[in-house]
Amino acid sequence: MIVEALLANAVILLGLALILWVISLQIDDVSFVDAYWGGGMALMALVSWLRLYDPGPLATLLMAMTVIWGARLCLYLFLRWRREGEDKRYKRILRTDRENGRFALAALTKVFLGQSVLLFLVSSPAQYGILEASALTPISGLALIGLTLWAVGIVFEWVGDWQLARFKANAANDGKVMDKGLWRYTRHPNYFGDACVWWGIWLAAASAGWWVAAATVIGPLFLTFTLTRWSGAPLLEGGMKKSRPGYAEYRARTSAFFPLPPKKSLS
Give me the pLDDT at residue 242, please.
Answer: 64
> Taking the CB of residue 6, how many other CB atoms lie within 10 A of it?
17
Q: What is the mean pLDDT of residues 70-95?
A: 91
265 located within any domain: no
222 located within any domain: yes
CA 251 from centre of chain: 23
163 located within any domain: yes
Give the model confidence (pLDDT) of 234-253 as tens digits. Answer: 667 766 666 677 788 888 89
140 located within any domain: yes
Containing structural domain, residue 103: 2-253
Give me the pLDDT at residue 267, please.
Answer: 46
148 located within any domain: yes
Give the model confidence (pLDDT) of 143-163 as tens digits. Answer: 999 999 999 999 999 999 999
131 located within any domain: yes
Give the model confidence (pLDDT) of 83-139 as tens digits. Answer: 988 888 888 889 898 988 899 999 999 999 999 999 999 999 999 999 999 877 889
Give me the pLDDT at residue 6, please.
Answer: 95
Give me the pLDDT at residue 244, please.
Answer: 73
- Separation CA 132–CA 1 (nearest Å): 10
Give me the pLDDT at residue 232, please.
Answer: 64
263 located within any domain: no
Give me the pLDDT at residue 238, please.
Answer: 65
Q: How many domains does the chain have?
A: 1
Q: What is the mean pLDDT of residues 186-211?
A: 96
262 located within any domain: no
- Separation CA 120–CA 133 (nearest Å): 19
Residue 218 near residue 204 (C-beta atoms within 8 A): no
Of the candidates 47, 32, 40, 34, the residue with the CA atom closest to the CA atom of residue 14: 40
Residue 146 near residue 200 (C-beta atoms within 8 A): yes
